[in-house]
Amino acid sequence: MTPIEADPALAAALVDAARAMSRQLADLRFSPPVSHVYNPLDYARAPAEAYLKRYGASRKRVVFVGMNPGPFGMVQTGVPFGEIAAVRDWMGLEATVATPPLQNPKRPIEGFACTRSEVSGRRLWGLFAERFGRAEHFFADHLVANYCPLAFFDGGRNLTPDKLPAAELRPLQAICDAHLRRMLELLEPEWVIGVGAWAEGRAKIAAEGLPVRFGRVLHPSPASPAANRGWSEAASRQLRTLGVWDDRPA
């Protein structure tokens, strides 16, 4: 595979957009049952921006969009679906992670020292590693993003954004929609693939009018019985059916 020439200006624009979104999100307030809100773009800025600089510095054919961070993935590493072994060993990224101002004692931030594995991230990045081999081969044409970078907790329980009250969800979506649209304008993908139906729906709203095609794959969460019956095979089949991937080895 021919290496893609990096565009530092593109990577810098992605970083600037992420920082702008992070600043806007800092002004939002959330009511009970939300007990803690984590913003990895803030306390895990170093690895989050290293990901964009190394792997976002070229136009992409496919952008995968997830919902929001998991407690043992992006919450710890700053990278979407950022299962630690995948980020550290496959992507070659590791950097200092600080802690949020109000840390949840039931969900401590341990950064790359965290010993828990993010199942969704292990499945997602495991599929890409199996198909493409080296990370550089995957990222030549693809990038993975999260629609919302915030993680919400009700004590030790993870709350997804769709569970927020409408009055709190609307301003959050306005910020995240604008950021996702800006990202897609910069990356100019042919395909936007939602990881799960909710992410696909938000991507369609954010990217309305842009010349992109949409699709989705089954979410790799262990809470999904279908995902537990062979997520990698199911997602690969969905991508082939859409025409995003072909049957040939990468």
Model pLDDT, residue 51: 98
Residue that is written with structure tokens 């828990």 in the block: 116
Q: What angle do CA 79, 217, 141 make, to 5 degrees?
A: 55
User: Could you tell me which of 58, 72, 64 has the C-alpha nearest to residue 217?
Assistant: 64
Model pLDDT, residue 250: 45
- The full set of domain ranges for the chain reads 26-241
pLDDT one-digit tens code per residue, 172-185: 999 999 999 999 99
Residue 140 has pLDDT above 90, yes or no: yes
Answer for the pair 84, 117: CB distance below 8 angstroms, yes or no.
Answer: yes
pLDDT one-digit tens code per residue, 110-139: 999 999 999 999 999 999 999 999 999 999
Q: Percentage of the chain surpassing pLDDT 70?
A: 97
Model pLDDT, residue 156: 87
Q: Are strands 36-38 and 151-154 parallel, antiparallel or unpaired?
A: antiparallel
Supply 208's token pair. 């309305």
Model pLDDT, residue 1: 46
Q: What angle do CA 176, 178, 182 make, to 5 degrees?
A: 115
Answer for the pair 52, 17: CB distance below 8 angstroms, yes or no.
Answer: no
pLDDT one-digit tens code per residue, 191-240: 999 999 999 999 999 999 999 999 999 999 999 999 999 999 999 999 99
Nearby residues of 143 by Cβ (< 8 Å), 6 or more positions away = 55, 56, 60, 62, 63, 64, 187
Q: Mean of the per-residue pLDDT values for the chain? A: 95
Residue 152 has pLDDT above 60, yes or no: yes
Model pLDDT, residue 248: 63
Q: Does domain 26-241 have CATH number 3.40.470.10?
A: yes
**Which of 206-234 are b and which e, b meaning 16 or more Cβ less than 10 Å from the residue's Cβ?**
bbeeeebeebbbbbbbeeeeebeeebbeb
The reported pTM is 0.96
E strand segments, 86-206: 142-146, 151-154, 157-159, 191-195
pLDDT one-digit tens code per residue, 42-68: 999 999 999 999 999 999 999 999 999
Positive or negative, the Cα torsion across 236, 242, 247, 250?
Answer: negative
